[in-house]
A and B are shown apart, each in its own frame.
Chain A
């Protein structure tokens, strides 16, 4: 019906088809989720640039800061310091892991708002393990990280079990458990002898993730072994999701729970498995921050927000292993560029606005794709009309 209407308009449609050509390059982005993510990120930065211009600052400062965070190259002062690259990768590490946490549950059709709580459980267990396990080099730190992941897996698994057993909403359950984890962490950490309301005694060297060679390589940045854990987790995510029976069952449950059930997949077990694995990823993030960034255990005074930011990372990364890895690097870039931007007179809120806009644009992805599809159909209709009229013309000429 619509096609006929448009075709009937005649001369006007030729103009339209020319203007449509200008939008053709956008089709490139619509071809895959990954390309669409690139587009929304570019849109986010574009909007950020416009906002900086609107408040009367020089957007060049933002790009200079991003470049410095990415390469260590400070154009403003003309010096190069690779430490900034190290800091970028270091701050990206927990974001990648909490992104994987969110993404893993999302693939199984669950919305894990609880990465923050699972992160806190991991962080707290890691601190306890650092203070109380025997101080054997390598062994202690490996044990501490493993225990943190296991504890957070249990914490996440509880939600999966509640979901499977009582059909409790995982959203509500994880939000509640975030607060329980937070206050529990404060309570037990303050009970450690020698702890005050802010921190515990110092953690032993044998429990720390510091990597001397990485520090030398990056001129003393905070980059540590945690980064390798993140890379390994990205690969593990991909392997479990794409190459194992469990992963297949999870994805099937996520796409259509009833169909999965009908074909003999145990959807209940999927809920527990996916939430437990999601929890383990977030727990690793907590352990890495606790043992990689601080020489003492912290009594948390508020959320670190890595868990919540993981939601955005997973969204932009399309909940795929490598997508989340790249999205985590992007959000880490924004986080590590923020002080560099402020140093150049760009308000600190800009990075938050950009990451917020990216998330909004990602959510608009479906709508954007519909728009492009509609334009493509319209273009086809125009071409069809043109071809038709040319044929008719040709017949008349003949």
Chain B
């Protein structure tokens, strides 16, 4: 047995030396630009959501595209954590490897980063969707999701009004309840009620980010009971809403789904030119990664909380669906400008919105 293990170790060393000997000659010693590593959870950059958006921002910064990642490996790369207990080791590894910037997305990384960041005081980190860490070398990016959700709420309500739907109802499907998803729901409801003060609003939480069947069943129920448009902020679960809306629109029912995070127009196509996704609330996670990279390059990087809102184009709505029409688009853009000017203020928390009488009392949103 001993012989075999020795043989394995010898083979490893020989292979490694043989392969690295050639490599070190070709590797560029001079760094032309900042280097960055994106750390993801087990899903990797192909999640069509959060990680993908962060990755897009990195690609955009280096002038690459998804198809042509020419500087991958020299300037930027990504590493997945197969299990949650790899978060800390992966953070430490990336810090050891001395990237100019290390990016993590999502609050699940907050504890791990809070533990590692003080150990590497000279290392710059960016975390997205977290604002409660306290470290001078961590930039924290949050988004005003309630503002973007307000805009899509306005758009959906205006569309119902334009179509002359009698007593339209609106639905919201959330993933796991929590303060971030509450921002989506509050914005959506306030946006609808700003146009149709008497509209009825229903909500449902799937308690899961990856169960489209739950959203599909709920959407079918609601559409059958007269719900006009459903906004899903539920990750993969929300795809069930879009699937159901497609089915019903194919059969000639006048119902809509509203997309989230990225423009889901194409996911909603049920013919070549018609999409069941009326509009999407867009959260440009890529803005935050690009911003942090630029800051790291310019030496302007600070451990601060940066909010990407409507004004900085961190959130918005998609006007890609022709069904929306130029009239509604211009009206929503007007509201967008009012939010930027501060004449319209969207409330993010449920308790506060309730206290101000902006939303009904029977919602399942959670502030904690």
Contacts and interface: CB of A to CB of B under 8 A. Distances in A.
A51 interface: no
Interface stretch (B107-115, B221-229, B253-261, B323-331): B107-115
A305 B73 CA distance: 29
A292 to B, nearest CB: 8
A60 B115 CA distance: 33
Interface stretch (B15-23, B54-62, B156-164, B268-276): B15-23
Contact of A342 (B15, B77, B368): B77
Contact of A63 (B15, B78, B115): B15
Given A295-B115, A343-B93, A196 B178 contact: yes
B368 A60 contact: no
A284 to B, nearest CB: 15
A47 interface: no
B111 A199 contact: yes
Contacts of A70: 12
Interface in A178-207: 196-199
A99 to B, nearest CB: 16
B88 A339 contact: no
How many chain A residues sit at the interface, stated as a range, is 35 or more
> What does DSSP make chain B's interface, helix, strand, loop or mixed?
helix
A256 interface: no
B97 A77 contact: yes
Interface stretch (B79-87, B165-173, B196-204, B236-244): B79-87
A206 to B, nearest CB: 19
A342 B45 CA distance: 13
B132 interface: no
A60 B8 contact: no
A305 B17 contact: no
Nearest to B178: A197
B111 A64 contact: no
A317 to B, nearest CB: 13
A221 B93 CA distance: 11
A345 interface: yes
A364 to B, nearest CB: 19
Contacts of B351: none
Nearest to A296: B111
A121 to B, nearest CB: 18
Given A63-B16, A87-B89, A295-B111, A343 B77 contact: yes
A365 interface: no
A61 B18 CA distance: 11
Interface in B1-42: 1, 4, 8, 12-13, 15-20, 22-23
Contacts of B83: 304-306, 335
A35 interface: yes
A254 B81 CA distance: 38
A42 B8 contact: yes
A91 B85 CA distance: 8
A260 B124 CA distance: 64
B96 interface: yes
Given A58-B23, A64-B19, A83-B92, A342 B4 contact: no
A64 B20 contact: yes
A197 B175 CA distance: 11
Contacts of A294: 84-85, 111
Given A67-B13, A197-B178, A345-B73, A339 B1 contact: no
Interface string A41-79: 010000000000000001111011011001000011101
A76 B17 CA distance: 10
20 contacts: A34-B1, A58-B19, A58-B23, A60-B16, A63-B19, A64-B19, A91-B85, A196-B178, A197-B176, A197-B178, A198-B107, A198-B176, A220-B119, A222-B89, A294-B84, A295-B111, A338-B82, A343-B79, A345-B77, A348-B80
